[in-house]
């Protein structure tokens, strides 16, 4: 549990010059993923955080989110979705 919280905090407190991590209220992030990218949840994993893998089968875009309380952070995103799971993307190790 502590490792999941630490990871979420690390996502928010990225150093200057690093890729900016986007966090926001759950409805805002969900709305952006569904509306702007046409993605839907294809897999979930629950530990201290709720990890969700969103994907669009037509475009191949995917987004990995981590939700803690009322805040969701985009942990990773990319193209070429081919059936990966949350555990594939976080290394198969529950945090």
Chain segment 32-66, per-residue pLDDT in tens? 999 999 999 999 999 999 999 999 999 999 999 99
Which segment of 15-19, 24-28, 46-50, 66-70 scores lowest on mean pLDDT? 15-19
How far are the Cα atoms of 21, 33, 80, 93 from residue 24, in angstroms, in the given order?
Answer: 10, 12, 25, 25
How much is the pTM? 0.77
pLDDT per residue as tens digits for the range 56-93: 999 999 999 999 999 999 999 999 999 999 999 987 55
């Amino acid at each position: 549990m502590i490792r999941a919280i630490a990871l979420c905090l690390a996502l928010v407190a990225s150093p200057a010059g690093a890729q900016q991590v986007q966090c926001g209220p759950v409805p805002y992030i969900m709305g952006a993923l569904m509306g702007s990218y046409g993605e839907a949840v294809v897999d979930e994993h629950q530990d201290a955080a709720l990890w969700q893998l969103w994907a669009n089968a037509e475009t191949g875009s995917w987004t990995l989110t981590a939700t803690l309380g009322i805040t969701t952070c985009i942990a990773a995103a990319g193209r070429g979705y081919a059936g990966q799971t949350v555990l594939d993307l976080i290394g198969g190790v529950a945090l």
